Amino acid sequence: MRVFNEIGLHHLRGDLFGGITAAVIALPMALAFGVASGAGAEAGLYGAILVGLFAALFGGSPTLISEPTGPMTVVFTAVIAKLVASDPVNGMAMAFTVVILAGAFQILFGTMRLGKYITLMPYTVVSGFMSGIGIILIILQIGPLLGQASPSGGVIAILTSLPDLFAGTRPSETLLAVLTMAILFLMPVRLKRYLPPQLLALIIVTLISVLLLGSEDIRRIGEIPTGLPELRMPVFSIEQWEIMLVDAIVLGMLGCIDALLTSVIADSLTRKQHNSDKELIGQGIGNVMSGLFGGLPGAGATMGTVVSIQAGARTALSGLIRAGILIVVVLWAADLTAIIPLAVLAGIALKVGIDIIDWGFLKRAHRLSGKGALVTYSVVLLTVFVDLIAAVGIGLFVANVMTVMRLSELQEDDVKAVKDPDQTDLELTPHEKELMREAAGSVLLLYLRGTMIFGTSRVISRKNSEVEGRRALVVDLTDVVHLGVSAALALEEAILDMIQAGRCVYLVGASGQPLRRLQMMGVVQRLPAEYIKNRRGRALEHAVYSCPARYTTDGAPAEQSE
């Protein structure tokens, strides 16, 4: 029997192994992200449990494993830093309120069926943003890697404090961090199939710190509260509500992108199709619950999802099993995590940061597209040194402007202004060529084809400048599939200019959406019925032989002068 989201016992063995494997990977990652964020290791565990549990129950991708991720942790770290700096007493509570709001926005996005649009972002911007987040995560670990707490104030403060950090290096903790990274980087691929390197590093290096460095003063996680987390009611600040709202939107959007991109990966492995809108609702519910109980925000985790599927997971039962194992850890085994060195978690987080950076694209971006590379590198720098929101906003604006310019260039050939039939590549029939020759340049044929979006309005306006001095304008829309608002306005301007000048305007082949749009704008109604033709040849015949010298601004032909 299947419950909602394909939860059932028909793949029990695979789901069991998948859930156990995902839990083994989730434990060290949750602890590392909790400590890295500044909210504490327990916040990472609560987030891993609550986001994973409710996303599995209500999501739209049965095999997706959801938990705190590197990108979400970096953004949440910035949120905590800002709100705690502005209000030391209530700042942390407000940060968890931002998580609740982010989840609410995700539910709203899913309810509005925006799932299929969320990931429609230029890859140059996504790559730059994710790479910038990876760099931030690496920089945040510099202090813990050297055995010290990270200076408050973000990336700039850490970089300016580097001399002091290196001067105060604690060799024992740095050694533990180096050992952790050595295991993560050097562990043979064959062994990774059976034992996650993060868990192996956590166990081995922790044992070394206890057995060989027990006398050293090593910073450790410390006692984690056992039992169920307490409910945290939302806390708002009148002074900070704008910042909280914007941060919630950014956090929610990032979670949507992270989850849906991972869902696509899961689809490719399971040969199934996820439900984007339902997944956003599930992610939103998970983040709302996580924020209510003091947990980190989360999203679809690529590593956990892939490993779980490879272990045999096929339904959301694997996510429930994973959450159940983590609950057991929180309730009865939290004491075992108290001795874990912070340097070990810093090494794990550093490896995550390195993996987030899009090395493959960054190394060849300049060869693929100079302008695209400029966008990517700029977004990286803005993300690291300025602001996450500004980076995405500016990156999207520049990328979209460049796209519009490129589309305009490509659609130059889709807008043709013909006055001489012997100097155009537009295919004209012999009869049409003869009519154009007889017109001797007094008739301008404006031919459009394909999809006329806003980028083509500039092209249409430039072509329209050639109507100056013409007796008649023939607008051929036979091959136009879609007429955008901007393109329609540019076309309307040319037609009305000709009408007001007392010239003839003919509309050819308009049908479907282009015709409806011109009718709604009142353009078609301004033209006499005999000036609207189905065939280009008939319009040219009328323009050459029957077009009066002038016609009035209401569309009625004036008398032909002798």
Beta-sheet pairing, 532-533 with 504-508: parallel
Q: 286: pLDDT confidence band, cut at 50, 70 and 90?
A: very high
The stretch 318-346 carries a mean pLDDT of 87
Give residue 213's domain range.
4-359
Residue 496, classified by CB atoms within 10 Å of its CB into exposed (0-12), middle (13-18) or buried (19+), is: middle
Residue 115 near residue 273 (C-beta atoms within 8 A): no
Q: Give the lowest-confidence range in 70-84, 168-182, 424-438.
A: 424-438
Residues 225 and 145 in one domain: yes
Kindly tell me if the per-residue pLDDT of 405 is higher than 90.
no
Average pLDDT, integer, range 337-362: 89
Backbone angles phi, psi at 280, to 5 degrees: -65, -40
| Residue 383, both tokens | 């993300």
Give pLDDT tens digits for 190-227.
887 778 888 889 889 999 998 888 777 888 888 777 77
441 pLDDT higher than 90:
no
- DSSP-assigned states of every residue in 391-428: HHHHHHHHHHHHHHHHHHHHGGGGEEEES-TTS--S--
CATH number at residue 421: 3.30.750.24
Return the residue matching tokens 């730059």: 128
**What span, in angstroms and rounded, lies between the C-alpha atoms of 15 and 523?**
62
Residues 320 and 426 in one domain: no
Q: What is d(CA 304, CA 326) in angstroms, rounded to the nearest whole number?
A: 14
For residue 469, count CB atoms less than 10 angstroms from its CB and return exposed for 0-12, middle for 13-18, buried for 19 or more.
exposed
For residue 382, being part of any structural domain is answered with no
- If asked whether residues 153 and 292 sit together in one domain, one would say yes
69, 165, 361, 482, 562 from 221: Cα distances, Å? 19, 20, 36, 60, 99
Q: pLDDT above 90 covers what percent of the chain?
A: 27
Answer whether residue 13 is part of any domain: yes
The answer to whether residue 326 sits within a structural domain is yes
Rg of the chain in Å (alpha carbons):
32
Contacts of 488 (CB under 8 A, 6+ apart): 452, 514, 517, 518, 521, 523
User: How many structural domains comprise the chain?
Assistant: 2
Do 301 and 198 lie in one domain? The reply is yes
Same domain, residue pair 176 and 35? yes
Domain assignment present for residue 368? The answer is no
Helix (DSSP H) and strand (DSSP E) numbers for the chain:
25, 7
Grouping H, G, I as helix, E, B as strand and the rest as coil, residue 483 is strand
Report, as an integer, the average pLDDT of 322-344: 86
Shared domain check, 415 and 353: no
Q: For tokens 């999809």, what's the residue?
A: 451
Q: Report which of 487, 534, 533, 527 is spatially closest to residue 504, judged by C-alpha positions.
A: 527
Residue at 371 is within a domain = no
Q: State pTM to two decimals.
A: 0.77
- CA dist 77 and 137 (Å) reads 10
Q: Is 217 exposed, middle or buried (0-12, 13-18, 19+ CB in 10 A)?
A: exposed
What is the model's pLDDT at position 455?
Answer: 65
pLDDT at 426: 82
The answer to whether 418 and 441 are in contact (CB under 8 A) is no
Q: Is residue 74 part of a domain?
A: yes
- Residue 331: pLDDT band (50, 70, 90) is confident
Query: Does residue 181 lie in a domain region?
Result: yes
Is pLDDT larger for residue 314 or for residue 227?
314
pLDDT in tens, 51-103: 999 999 999 888 899 999 988 999 999 899 889 988 888 899 999 999 999 99
Q: Looking at the structure, do residues 341 and 476 belong to the same domain, yes or no?
A: no
Residue at 292 is within a domain: yes
- 354 and 415, same structural domain? no
Is 3 a residue whose pLDDT tops 70?
no
| 415 shares a domain with 299 | no
Q: pLDDT category, 281, cuts 50, 70, 90? A: very high
Judgement on whether residues 355 and 417 belong to the same structural domain of the protein: no
Average pLDDT of span 128-134? 88
Give the number of other Cβ atoms within 10 Å of residue 179's Cβ.
18
In this prediction, residue 292 carries a pLDDT of 95
Same domain, 320 and 416: no
HSE-CB for 10 with a 13 A CA cutoff? 9
- Band the pLDDT of 243: cuts 50, 70, 90: confident
Tokens of residue 284, six digits = 């939103």
In this structure, the answer to whether residues 10 and 70 fall within a common structural domain is: yes
On the question of pLDDT at 560 being above 70, the answer is no
Reported as a single tens digit per residue, the pLDDT across 364-392 is 888 888 888 898 999 999 989 888 778 88
Domain end residue (candidates: 334, 359, 384): 359
- Give the C-alpha separation, 297 to 448, whole Å: 50
d(CA 298, CA 218): 30
415-418 and 443-452 strand pairing: antiparallel
Per-residue pLDDT band at 555 (split at 50, 70, 90): very low
The Cα 226–Cα 187 span in angstroms is 33
